[in-house]
Amino acid sequence: MSVSYFIFYYESPYLTKNDSVEFYEHLLSSRMSKMAIDSTFSGFTQEEVYSLLSETNEVYNKKRQKGLLTYLSFVVMLIGLIVLISFYYKFLLRSKRDRLKFESAIKNDFAESRLKYQLLIKDLKQKIINDYRTNNKVDLPTLLIIKDYLHKKDKDLATNILASQYDKSKLDLLFIEFEKEI
């Protein structure tokens, strides 16, 4: 029994004395008998058995450490992957949110600018009509503005504006059309 007990009772950084005894008792309760264990190491001295078991223990410890390192590296990679994905989605969502804010700001600015432009054009048209009503004549730059504006609506009317500069009835018709657009 001394050799058999010695097989499992040696110093190990991972196995305690109780672990060795429990493992030995497990072997005894299994199909292997005490005699089979004793006969396995019968030709060896205790020092040889100790060296064999030390080598076996070192191999076992290296495999266990390798398995532990593999497990730890897997856990670290998994945590790193989770952190990387969270940063990616955080960046992606932030950039998408910023892009949407930027696009909405541009749309709002464009709509505001368009509204200001339309109000400015309407005021300019109203000023042109008021000037015509008060003075009963139109200067050339004003006629050019009206011509450019009405050119889109009625090309014949727009091309005859400069020729009708001195014809009061044609100018009245022109300003009536222009006033309808306002």
Kindly report, residue by residue over 93-125, the tens digit of the pLDDT.
Answer: 777 777 788 788 777 777 787 787 777 777 777
Distance CA 159, CA 146 (A): 11
Distance CA 20, CA 11 (A): 10
Global pTM? 0.31
Estimate the share of the chain in helix, then strand, then coil, as percent rounded to the nearest 5.
Answer: 80, 0, 20
% of the chain residues with pLDDT over 70: 41
Decide if pLDDT at 180 tops 60: yes
- Residue of 180 and 151 predicted with greater confidence: 180
- The whole-number pLDDT of residue 165 equals 55
The answer to whether 68 and 14 have CB atoms below 8 angstroms apart is no
% of the chain residues with pLDDT over 90: 4
| Mean pLDDT, rounded, for 32-53 | 59
